[in-house]
Amino acid sequence: MSNLKDKNRFIIVSNRLPIKMEKEANSWRVSPSAGGLVSALSPILKNRGGIWIGWTGTTERIGLRPCREILDNMSKEIGYRIFPVMLTENEVSLYYYGLSNEIIWPLFHDLPGLANFDPTYWRAYRKVNEKFARAVARHSRNEDLVWVHDYQLIPLAQKLKELGIERRCFFFLHIPFPSPDIFMKMPWRYELLSDLLEYEFIAFQTAQDRRNFISCLNNMPQKLKTSGRGPVIEVTEGEKKIKVAYLPISIDFKSFTRMATSEKVCAMLKDYKKKLHRKTVILGVDRLDYTKGIPLRLKAFQMALEKYPQLHENVTLVQIVVPSREEVLAYSELKNNIETLVSSINGTFTTPGWVPVHYMYHPVPREELVALYRLADVALVTPLRDGMNLVAKEYCACKIDNDGVLILSEFAGAAAQMYHHALIVNPYDTERMADLILKAVEMPTKEKKSRMRNLRKKLKEQDVFWWVDNFLRAATGKALVDFPEKELPPILYAISPRGRS
């Protein structure tokens, strides 16, 4: 359809760069960061070359020379170039903690009661998006493909247009898109929909998300026409045509299975098994977030222990919670709530040699996580709402012996692909979840293996490369193989004064 030249590079734009910068006395400690988006895109950029533009994650002023050195070294380490957008404390507070996390995040996860519709947030959101647009304008060329990620940057294409910059812009929403009765509560609902219509291609995680988006468009004052069927349809607004798709994100399946068989992971697994004295292990892995359903999951586990004494001294729940957005009150309250529940369960049921809940409030290194996936007989992935949930997919990828059961919330995007072979649960139905815990623990080996084999087969076919390939085919008419690997060109940074990116 298009005359893309071979020079087209990916310009990935997301709120955060795929790195973490922490100040230590007079120097900076930088490390690659964890999270769904990074897990999904790093392998692609590494293999195909490209640029990532995003916020550094810090509001501290960094001098030009140290910043250049830090990012230069990091680019070499991660295998692709990164360019920073500098944000002030005030911008972060209003655009990131405010509009993004106090409005869009709860609203799009069906929790409008938690949204704080402060108009100053909205103005800052648009201003910061303009700043991101300036960074894109500076670091990209006409023929580049600008792939914008997630809810923090919805107005970016519109802002590029206002700056007079013509770029082909695509958008992927990692979180769910709500139904009109929830979305229409947003005071700036039409502006946000108009912003989305500035992309030439928009993709959602599931058919349900896209359906919700189209229903919201139907509420707009102007007339829009929708045509087509299947994963990619077309919306027409006057002369403008926008392709709208659903494309479930996935994981680098092969790299997880490879790591799961590595010597280091096998040694860790052996060690865990010894320490846990052959207990059946149930695993939960989540960022600290009220959408992940951690308290209800703990209540379901508690109920399972109350109802089924045969689980006592035999089953251990390992719950990892990765600290996130702790500065926000709702998150610090959630942490307290989780910790109260954990201590109540352990206080009630612990016996010498058995602690029912092993709770970790810190991230674990990737290899340790993979060893835990291998160890776990059951994974409990029970978000109240989730765009996709990569943990569900990673768990299955690591079950190389097919010896695990996935209990999955029907409100995770992943359920649309995995519902046939996972045990699907309504996360609000704690009684049913308790019963499913027993069912998973007691599931005959034959059924367990058959379910897991099927889950893994589909995941192997529809991995993250499949996702990118499909995204590119739908957006540009080109496939992933049409973007050949390139060497890293010399890195020349232009860090401008504070207030400009």
Among 17, 145, 259, 390, binds ligand GDG (CB under 6 A): 390
Strands 27-32 and 405-409: unpaired
Q: Which stretch binds ligand GDG (CB under 6 A): 33-41, 123-131, 138-146, 333-341?
A: 33-41
Among 49, 387, 404, 427, binds ligand GDG (CB under 6 A): 387
Q: Does the footprint of ligand GDG cover residue 436 (CB under 6 A)?
A: no
Q: Which stretch binds ligand GDG (CB under 6 A): 49-57, 216-224, 227-235, 358-366?
A: 358-366
Q: Which is nearer to ligand GDG, 295 or 308 (CB)?
A: 295
Q: Which two tokens stand for residue 341?
A: 């529940």
Q: Which is nearer to ligand GDG, 94 or 391 (CB)?
A: 391
Q: Does the footprint of ligand GDG cover residue 416 (CB under 6 A)?
A: no
Q: Closest distance between ligand GDG and the C-beta of residue 65, in Å? A: 31
Strands 19-24 and 27-32: antiparallel
Residue number of the CB closest to ligand GDG reads: 36
Interactions with ligand GDG, residue window 175-204 (CB under 6 A): 175
CA quadruple 174, 178, 184, 185: dihedral positive or negative? negative
Task: Kindly tell me the burial class for residue 488, based on how many C-beta atoms sit within 10 Å of its own C-beta (0-12, 13-18, 19 or more).
Answer: exposed
Q: Which is nearer to ligand GDG, 34 or 480 (CB)?
A: 34
Closest CA to 13 of 60, 45, 59: 45
Q: Closest distance between ligand GDG and the C-beta of residue 245, in Å? A: 15
Q: Which two tokens stand for residue 142?
A: 């006409």
174 is catalytic: yes
Among 36, 112, 155, 404, binds ligand GDG (CB under 6 A): 36
**Among the options 252, 289, 377, 386, which is catalytic?**
386
Q: Closest distance between ligand GDG and the C-beta of residue 412, in Å? A: 7
d(CA 269, CA 368): 9
Q: Which stretch binds ligand GDG (CB under 6 A): 22-30, 296-304, 344-352, 362-370?
A: 362-370
- Element at 19 (helix H, strand E): strand 19-24
Q: Which is nearer to ligand GDG, 81 or 149 (CB)?
A: 149
Q: Does the footprint of ligand GDG cover residue 388 (CB under 6 A)?
A: yes
Question: By CB under 6 A, how many residues form the interface with ligand GDG?
Answer: 25
Q: Which is nearer to ligand GDG, 129 or 389 (CB)?
A: 389
Residue where the block lists tokens 């045990």: 423
- Element at 318 (helix H, strand E): strand 315-322
386 is catalytic: yes
Among 104, 320, 375, 378, binds ligand GDG (CB under 6 A): 320
Residue 32: C-alpha distances to residues 20, 42, 56, 350, 360 (Å): 6, 10, 12, 38, 21
Among 195, 200, 252, 386, binds ligand GDG (CB under 6 A): 386
Q: Does the footprint of ligand GDG cover residue 322 (CB under 6 A)?
A: yes
**Among the options 109, 149, 150, 174, which is catalytic?**
174
List, as one string, the DSSP characters of 251-313.
--HHHHHHHHTSHHHHHHHHHHHHHTTT-EEEEEEEES-GGG-HHHHHHHHHHHHHH-GGGTT
Among 391, 418, 459, 468, binds ligand GDG (CB under 6 A): 391
Among 233, 364, 424, 491, binds ligand GDG (CB under 6 A): 364
Strands 357-360 and 240-246: unpaired
C-alpha Rg value of the chain to the nearest Å? 23
Among 11, 12, 37, 193, binds ligand GDG (CB under 6 A): 37
For residue 244, list its beta bridge partners: 202, 233
Within the chain, how many helices (H) and strands (E) appear? Answer: 19, 17
Among 40, 124, 298, 434, binds ligand GDG (CB under 6 A): 40
Interactions with ligand GDG, residue window 1-20 (CB under 6 A): none
Q: Does the footprint of ligand GDG cover residue 441 (CB under 6 A)?
A: no
Closest CA to 491 of 27, 2, 72: 72
Kindly list the strands in the beta sheet with 81-85, ordered across the sheet, starting from the edge strand earlier in the chain: 81-85, 51-55, 10-16, 145-149, 168-172, 201-204, 240-246, 232-237, 225-227
Q: Does the footprint of ligand GDG cover residue 328 (CB under 6 A)?
A: no
Neighbours of 25 (CB within 10 A): 5
Amino acid identity, position 472: L
Interactions with ligand GDG, residue window 234-273 (CB under 6 A): 249
Half-sphere exposure of 414 (CA within 13 A, CB side): 30
Q: Does the footprint of ligand GDG cover residue 174 (CB under 6 A)?
A: yes
d(CA 288, CA 401): 30
* Residues of the shown chain interacting with ligand GDG in the complex, contacts defined by CB under 6 A: 34-37, 39-40, 174-175, 249, 285, 287, 320, 322, 363-366, 369, 386-391, 394
Known catalytic residues?
Answer: 174, 386
